[in-house]
């Protein structure tokens, strides 16, 4: 059983940066691919980025490509999301999530993830 906990959210102006962290405990983090999702008020949970278990493959939502960078440090059981050039439309609760290494396709679908953090609020002012 893996427990995930996010930190690093906050309020920043458009064009600013934030770095989210997600710390895993209770299991071997390197056994899992890990990703970030977000959910804005009144909307469904949206895939943002995924990094594979070893950290050599990444996938992004088109609208965050070249602005967000996902990374991980398995020795520290930590997942990161560096967010630059933030826009008001990036405002949402951001969640980290983990899925098993043997998971098939559909990495952009929330239901394919086994573990979730509690979320951290990111608010971008215009």
Question: pLDDT for 23-48, tens place per residue?
Answer: 999 888 999 999 999 999 999 999 99
Q: Quote the pLDDT of residue 104.
A: 78
pLDDT in tens, 92-117: 999 999 999 888 788 999 999 999 99
User: Residue 1 above 90 pLDDT?
Assistant: no
Q: How far is CA 39 from CA 13, 77, 84, 114, in A?
A: 19, 24, 18, 18
DSSP lists the bridge partners of residue 92 as 122
* Three-class secondary structure of residue 103 per DSSP: coil
Cβ atoms of 48 and 120 closer than 8 Å = no
> Which tokens hold the place of 114?
């086994």
Cα dihedral across residues 101, 50, 119, 5: positive or negative: positive
Render pLDDT for 59-97 as a digit per residue (tens, 0 to 9): 999 999 999 999 999 999 999 999 999 999 999 999 999
pLDDT at position 105 is 83
Could you give the 3-state DSSP secondary structure of residue 62? helix
Predicted local distance difference test score (pLDDT) of residue 45 = 97
Give dist(CA 108, CA 101) in Å, integer.
15
Q: Would you state the pLDDT for residue 22? A: 98
Q: Give pLDDT, residue 16.
A: 98
Using alpha carbons, select from 12, 26, 22 the residue that is nearest to residue 49: 22
Diameter of the chain measured on Cα atoms: 42
Quote the pLDDT of residue 96: 98
């Amino acid at each position: 059983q893996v427990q995930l906990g996010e930190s690093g959210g906050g309020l920043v102006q458009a064009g600013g940066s934030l770095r989210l962290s997600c710390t895993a405990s209770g299991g071997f983090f390197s056994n899992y691919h890990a990703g970030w999702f977000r959910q804005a008020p009144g909307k469904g949970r949206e895939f943002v980025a995924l990094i594979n278990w070893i950290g050599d493959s990444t996938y992004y939502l088109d609208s965050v490509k070249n602005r967000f960078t996902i990374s991980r440090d398995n020795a520290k059981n930590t997942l990161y999301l560096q967010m630059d050039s933030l826009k008001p439309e990036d405002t949402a609760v951001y969640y980290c999530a983990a899925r098993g290494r043997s998971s098939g396709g559909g990495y952009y679908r929330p239901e394919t993830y086994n573990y979730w953090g509690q979320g951290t609020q990111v608010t971008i002012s215009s």
